Amino acid sequence: MTTVFIMGTKLKILFNSIRDNLMLGPVRAALIRRRDAAREYPNFLSVVAIMKNEAPYIKEWLDYHIAIGIDKFYLYDNESTDDIKVVLAPYIKSGRVEYKLWPGSRMQLQAYRDAVAMHKNDTKWLAFFDIDEFLMPSPREFLKKQSGNVAQVTLGCAIFGTNGHKTKPVDGLLSNFTRRGAISDECKSIVNPRLVRAIHSCHYSAVAGKTINACGARIAASRDADYPIDTFRVNHYKTKSVAECAAKFGVGDALYGARPMALEKYLEKYDQNEVLDKSICSKRK
User: What is the second-level CATH architecture of the domain 2-283?
Assistant: Alpha-Beta Complex (3.90)
| Regions of the chain short of the pLDDT cut 50 | 13-14, 16-21, 285
Bridging pattern class, strands 133-136 and 233-237: antiparallel
The pair phi, psi for residue 164, each rounded to 5°, is: 85, 0
Per-residue pLDDT of 10-37, as tens digits, reads: 555 445 444 444 568 889 999 999 999 9
Can you give the pLDDT at residue 17? 45
Burial, 154: exposed, middle or buried (Cβ in 10 Å; 0-12, 13-18, 19+)?
A: buried
Can you give the pLDDT at residue 177? 97
Average model confidence (pLDDT) across the chain: 89
End-to-end CA distance of the chain: 46
209: left (phi over 0), alpha (psi -120 to 50) or beta: left
Q: Which 8-state DSSP code applies to residue 78?
A: -
Can you give the pLDDT at residue 1? 53
The answer to whether the beta carbons of residues 232 and 143 sit under 8 Å apart is no
Distance, in Å, from the CA atom of 129 to the CA atom of 141, rounded to the nearest integer, reads 19
Q: Whole-model pTM?
A: 0.89
Can you give the pLDDT at residue 263? 87
